[in-house]
């Protein structure tokens, strides 16, 4: 995610459950039914619960220390298959969902997060209908599970999704999750949580999963999501797009949008296919995204090959931006579509998406490095040095730290404030000075490559840097990340 401060001046120097033919719900006589989910003719993405390909999504979920109300460490989601239909006239979302999961414990129930605005019609575990309760956002499924057992959980739901309040004081967003615009178009951003506003999910960064998503909307709308667009069908005035995400992603890194979108295709110098999804009436903004291949080449030179198969940028009616995996979600402002912001979100695909925090306390892990790489890009494009830029950031970092807390011990009501961006970026610059460019960039490149498709903790990443650098960096990291004031710089 982009930092909350807008561009600061530089002082003269960001498998479905199977499409049943019967309706999901009984409606009152005469009531107009929303769109039905399109039947799925494709073969299942994975060959049963024991498919070795699912092992790529094995996680070790934890209870969050900052926001413990979302996510259940007893559930390890492996694959979500979502068939969704959005009726913009009725503002109703209809869904059929299959979740392949692993239980991390012996229990007599499973718990997922799902908005109370979405009414559940039925829940099935391994094909058998089971009891469940749905109070608030807690969907509790009554079924016996054993540690390391794998299960197929299918459910149907329908309702009018609503966003939820975001735990932040930032000015560029106040809510998370499914957002509906006056014209019926929709979009989502959901960090630290809010994916549960549009599907049943273990909504926590420590649980990564694979995804297949089909979205049905009336033409001229198109549904856009993460990953590769593998199919588009049009019939009876409806358009269904099917998306496959081949690399596991945390729920906060998922995106979905519906609207009258126009696709422009591009390619990076290294051969990565790039898609730009821009609302038809804002097509001029597609030109602003043209520097994307250049920004990607800049990062690949530092970090190594782009770690995913596809890349896209999706523009939505927001003032923020989000590093949603393989399909970056950006607001339609001059700032959020600027090359610096695009580079910031691209950088997250190594530091944040390929490997990210297992607990929201360590958001700094994502934002500090992305901010530093953004700073390097900015310095490379202008007439100031990275040292001069760091001096400028240092001039106000202590104030940001005092307002929201240390980067790794922030106030939970101030999620995503500038303290998790600038201080950690300064920290990485100081480490670069200390280690020298060769060793520093070797480690910056190796960390995501060696921890691909995983999540990590404060102790793990700081111990790794100490071991690989041959120095005890524990005091260095603690001072920068847990200290009440900005450490002295070299």
What count of Cα atoms within 13 Å lies in the side-chain half-sphere of residue 49?
17
The pLDDT value recorded for residue 44 is 67
Q: What percentage of residues in the chain have a pLDDT greater than 90?
A: 90
What is the separation of C-alpha 479 from the centre of its chain, rounded to a whole number of angstroms? 29
Q: Is residue 35 scored above 70 in pLDDT? A: no
Q: Is residue 12 scored above 70 in pLDDT? A: no
Would you identify the CATH topology of the domain 359-482?
Neutral Protease; domain 2 (1.10.390)
CATH of 261-353, one of 1.10.390.10, 3.40.605.10, 3.10.20.600, 3.30.70.20: 1.10.390.10
Region 333-341: mean pLDDT is 97
Say which DSSP state 325 is in.
T
Task: Report the chain's mean pLDDT, rounded to a whole number.
Answer: 93
Region 74-84: mean pLDDT is 99
What is the separation of C-alpha 344 from the centre of its chain, rounded to a whole number of angstroms? 14
Whether 261-353 and 359-482 share one fold: the answer is yes
Please, which residues bridge with residue 232 across strands? 241
**Is this model's pTM higher than 0.75 or not?**
yes
Model pLDDT for residues 140-167, shown as the tens digit of each residue: 999 999 999 999 999 999 999 999 999 9
Tokens matching residue 277: 């999804």
Tokens matching residue 357: 């925090």
Q: Grade residue 221 by pLDDT with cuts at 50, 70 and 90.
A: very high
Q: Is residue 22 scored above 70 in pLDDT? A: no
Q: What is the CATH number of domain 15-259?
A: 2.60.40.1730
The pLDDT value recorded for residue 26 is 40
Residue-range domain boundaries for the chain: 15-259, 261-353, 359-482
Model pLDDT for residues 259-269, shown as the tens digit of each residue: 999 999 999 99
């Amino acid at each position: 995610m982009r930092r909350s401060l807008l561009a600061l001046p530089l002082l003269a120097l960001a498998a479905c459950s199977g499409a049943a033919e019967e309706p999901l719900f009984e409606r009152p006589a005469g009531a107009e039914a929303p769109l039905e989910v399109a039947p799925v003719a494709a073969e299942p993405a994975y060959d049963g619960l024991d498919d070795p390909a699912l092992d790529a999504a094995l996680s070790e979920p934890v209870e969050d220390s900052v926001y413990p109300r979302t996510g259940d460490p007893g559930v390890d989601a492996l694959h979500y298959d979502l068939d969704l239909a959005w009726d913009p006239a009725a503002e109703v979302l209809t869904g059929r969902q299959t979740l392949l999961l692993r239980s991390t414990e012996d229990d007599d129930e499973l718990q997922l997060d799902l908005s109370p605005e979405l009414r559940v019609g039925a829940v099935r575990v391994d094909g058998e209908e089971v009891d469940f309760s749905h109070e608030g956002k807690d969907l509790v499924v009554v079924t016996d599970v054993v540690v390391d057992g794998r299960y197929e959980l299918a459910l149907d739901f329908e309702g009018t999704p609503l966003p939820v309040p975001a735990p932040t004081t930032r000015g560029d967003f106040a809510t998370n999750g499914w957002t509906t615009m006056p014209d019926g178009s929709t979009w989502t951003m959901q960090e630290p949580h809010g994916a549960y506003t549009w599907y049943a999910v273990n909504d926590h960064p420590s649980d990564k999963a694979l995804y297949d998503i089909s979205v049905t909307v009336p033409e001229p709308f198109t549904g856009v999501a993460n990953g590769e667009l593998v199919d588009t069908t049009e019939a009876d005035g409806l358009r269904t797009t099917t998306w496959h995400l081949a690399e596991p992603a945390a729920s906060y890194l998922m995106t979905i949008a519906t609207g009258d979108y126009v696709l422009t295709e591009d390619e990076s110098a290294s051969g990565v296919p790039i898609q730009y999804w821009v609302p038809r009436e804002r097509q001029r903004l597609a030109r602003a995204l043209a520097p994307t291949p250049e920004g990607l080449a800049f990062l690949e030179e530092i970090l190594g090959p782009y770690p995913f198969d596809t890349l896209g940028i999706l523009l939505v009616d927001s003032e923020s931006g989000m590093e949603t995996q393989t399909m970056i979600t950006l607001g339609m402002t001059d700032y959020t579509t600027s090359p610096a912001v695009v580079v910031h979100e691209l950088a997250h695909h190594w530091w944040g998406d390929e490997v990210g925090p297992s607990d929201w306390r360590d958001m700094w892990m994502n934002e500090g490095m992305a901010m530093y790489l953004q700073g390097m890009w900015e310095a490379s494009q202008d007439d100031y040095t990275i040292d001069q830029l760091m001096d400028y950031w240092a001039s106000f970092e202590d104030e940001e730290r005092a307002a929201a807390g240390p980067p790794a011990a922030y106030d939970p009501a101030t999620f995503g404030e500038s303290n998790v961006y600038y201080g950690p970026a300064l920290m990485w610059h100081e480490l670069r000075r200390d280690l020298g460019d060769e060793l520093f960039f070797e480690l910056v490149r190796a960390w995501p490559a060696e921890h691909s498709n995983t999540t990590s903790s404060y102790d793990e990443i700081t111990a790794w840097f100490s071991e690989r650098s041959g120095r005890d960096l524990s005091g260095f990291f603690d001072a920068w990340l847990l200290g009440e004031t900005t450490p002295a710089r070299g």
